Amino acid sequence: MPIATSSDKIDLSSEKKTEELASKVSQKLKPGNIIFLYGEMGVGKTTFIRYLINTLQKNNKLNQTEITSPTFNLLNEYQINKIRIDHYDLFRLKSAQELKNLGLFEDNLNTITLIEWPQIIKEKPKNLIELEFEYGKDHQTRSVQIKGLYL
């Protein structure tokens, strides 16, 4: 059951707009939430995640850390007080069988799970928020559509 639904496209043509959206989303997140981030390479998924995690760190008076895409190691973990953030990048996975060893949705009571390239996941979990990033016609503009979270 979704938290709520927002079907409007949100303009992300600047990093400032991406940062502002990440700040708004950070206020709504709770442990157990899972976010799927869809979109072409370079459209802003990891940039959004960087702002999201850095905002959560800042709001909890923690040092902001460097946030990179876990393309090669599949998972980066961040601890924000009692909440763990798991940031997955599934781009390199070729089959659903490879997902089983990752334990994506196990023991996520105190975890916020962020998953880039989630298309390989066939069964959608509960507490799911979906962000669909896309380029505009000129590749200079970008937008995101959010499902499962009302801002």
Q: How far apart are CA 115 and CA 69, in angstroms?
A: 10
Q: pLDDT value at position 100?
A: 79
Q: Give the tens place of pLDDT for each residue, 83-137.
A: 999 999 999 888 878 887 787 877 778 999 999 999 999 888 888 999 999 998 8
pTM over 0.95: no
| β-sheet with 142-147: strand ranges across | 5-11, 142-147, 128-135, 34-38, 111-116, 83-89, 75-80
Model confidence over 23-67: pLDDT tens digits?
999 999 999 999 999 999 999 999 999 999 999 999 999 999 999
User: Using alpha carbons only, what angle is made at residue 119 by residues 118 and 123, rounded to the nearest 5 degrees?
Assistant: 85
